[in-house]
Amino acid sequence: MTYEPPVTDYDYIVENCTCAFCGCNCDDLDFLVKNGHVVAVRHACRLGASKVMEDMDQRLLVPMVRNEEGVLEEVDWDTALDTAAEYIANSIRPVFYGWSETSTECMKEGVELGEYIGAVLDNQATICHGPSLQAMQNAGYPIQTLGEVKNRADVIAYSGSNAMNSHPRHLARYAAFPRGYFRQRGRFDRTVITMDPKFSDTAKMSDKWIGFEQNGDYGFYNALRAVLKGKKLQSESVSGIPAEDIYELAAEMEAAEFGVLFFGLGLTHTLGKQRNIDIAIKLVQDLNTNSKWGLTPMRGHFNVNGFNIFMAYETGWAFGVDFCRGYGRYMMGETNTIDLLVRKEPDCFMVIAADPGAHFPNGANQHLADIPVIQIDIHWGPSTELADVVLPGSFISVECGGTSYRMDGVPIWMKKAIDKPETCRDDEWIVRELKERVMKLREEPNVADEYVPNEGLACLLDK
Ligand code: SF4
């Protein structure tokens, strides 16, 4: 790594800004501004700083519509919004996907539009912590805030998460290192345990590493629960971990004054999926018989949790909510974006602050190439290549304010620091404009009459 001298050439500093990258939502950043641009960021990790610093060469700056030759062509805002509104108003199975990197205020407009038009609203949880959310709805959710972790926790366990790389300030700001009210000596007052098949960077700085076998999570947690309930293990090792190490770990966890289990996709996406989280929640419930424990998923995008909290509050379902019957419903494998795309059901797709072009499997992207795609985003990406209408938004927490939810469910106001480019608009404004234009179009007769359903829908309608 090369040494980069601190930036000293700036006009002014905007203090206490929030990072719009991972679910830590660090809200102690200083943005150094020169000529209306953020030229440096203080206190952020490298991931956060590199996102906040503007990437103008990839920035989407003007609205675009794909012309008959298949080329994206610059248009004015009215033309772009009207074209997008027509696609939505003429569709009978629209899907609105993304939302994890925009504000909760924008989601509110999106839900109103989705409910009006009968769309499916889904976010990135469908490809990340979806099984965790299912388990939480099954088994409950013994949670605590990150403030409580900082001030009280003496045992921190990471399972299937390499926080040192994915959430670099998590350990420094909230979990392992900070001095808290009851943990004045910081790291010296805490025991850090990593449970992961990989000897990750987080495992390297932990006091204990439990390297169970790949896909051995469920068996390992089962054994730990059995020991906590006073049972004797019947074999010498479980999931590759010697029985005596499991007895020792159970005793250590039970002796905690305040313990926290942070889990990542390494636990959510191994063989047991939601059952892994079910049993982790049960483990924490067992530990609460004699101690005080909580658990928190290590959420990735800064507002992925916001969408799930907001949707659960509004509809009862955290993601994959289908309004096609006039009320919200959810069915795993039926109303999730990838399943819908692979079955070729959607006839219009709006992607906001996400990049399915980069993250979805081929089969799903193939269908996106066949239907109208509307993109609301700030950067050019693989999804732009699939888009028929591109609507350039603004960068929340830098160019516009908005609310996001941290991984522990605490809402954070992200304030504006600089002005957005003149040709861009706020995401909330864009979705509200679309909603109003779609409503106007739907009130006009004959809009849906001219509609010809795509192949997947035609066969559904025949049934
Ligand atoms: S830990 Fe996450 S929220 Fe905090 S500065 Fe780094 S990327 Fe941003």
pLDDT string in tens for the chain (463-residue length): 667 778 888 999 999 999 999 999 999 999 999 999 999 999 999 999 999 986 777 899 999 999 999 999 999 999 999 999 999 999 999 999 999 999 999 999 999 999 999 999 999 999 889 888 988 888 888 899 999 999 999 999 999 999 999 999 999 999 999 999 999 999 999 999 999 999 999 999 999 999 999 999 999 999 999 999 999 999 999 999 999 999 999 999 999 999 999 999 999 998 888 899 999 999 999 999 989 999 999 999 999 999 999 999 999 999 999 999 999 999 988 999 999 999 999 999 999 999 998 899 999 999 999 999 999 999 999 999 999 999 999 999 999 999 999 999 999 999 999 999 999 999 999 999 999 999 999 987 655 555 555 555 555 555 4
How far apart, in whole angstroms, are the C-alpha atoms of residue 339 and residue 121?
13
Task: Give the per-residue pLDDT at 145.
Answer: 97
How far apart, in whole angstroms, are the C-alpha atoms of residue 249 and residue 61?
54
The residue among 132, 125, 142, 144 whose CA lies nearest residue 263 is 132
* DSSP states along 120-168: EEEEGGGGTTHHHHHHHHHH------HHHHHHH-SEEEEES--HHHHST
Q: Is 398 helix (H, G, I), strand (E, B) or coil?
A: coil
Please tell me the residue having the least CA distance from ligand 1 atom 4: 26
What are the residue ranges spanned by the domains of the chain?
12-56, 59-127+302-462, 130-297
Q: Which two tokens stand for residue 146?
A: 């990150």
Are the beta carbons of 274 and 332 closer than 8 angstroms? no
Task: Give the per-residue pLDDT at 272.
Answer: 85
Ligand 1 mutation pick, 29, 41, 45, 414, max ligand atoms within 8 A of CB: 45
Distances (CA, A) of 267 to 83, 218, 273: 43, 9, 7
- Is 160 close to ligand 1, i.e. is its CB under 6 Å away? no
How far apart, in whole angstroms, are the C-alpha atoms of residue 103 and residue 351?
14
Task: Give the per-residue pLDDT at 454.
Answer: 57
- Is 168 close to ligand 1, i.e. is its CB under 6 Å away? yes
Are the beta carbons of 125 and 133 closer than 8 angstroms? yes
- Is 21 close to ligand 1, i.e. is its CB under 6 Å away? yes
Q: For the domain made up of 59-127+302-462, give the CATH fold.
A: Rossmann fold (3.40.50)
Task: Give the per-residue pLDDT at 463.
Answer: 44
Cα 44 to ligand 1 centroid, rounded to whole Å: 6
DSSP at 171: I
Residue 410's CB: how many other CB atoms inside 10 A? 14
Q: Is 300 helix (H, G, I), strand (E, B) or coil?
A: coil
Cα 257 to ligand 1 centroid, rounded to whole Å: 28
What is 130-297's CATH number, 3.40.50.300, 3.40.50.450, 3.40.718.10, 3.40.228.10? 3.40.228.10
* DSSP states along 88-114: HHT-SSEEEEE-TTS-HHHHHHHHHHH
* Largest separation between any pair of C-alpha atoms in the chain: 74
- Is 24 close to ligand 1, i.e. is its CB under 6 Å away? yes
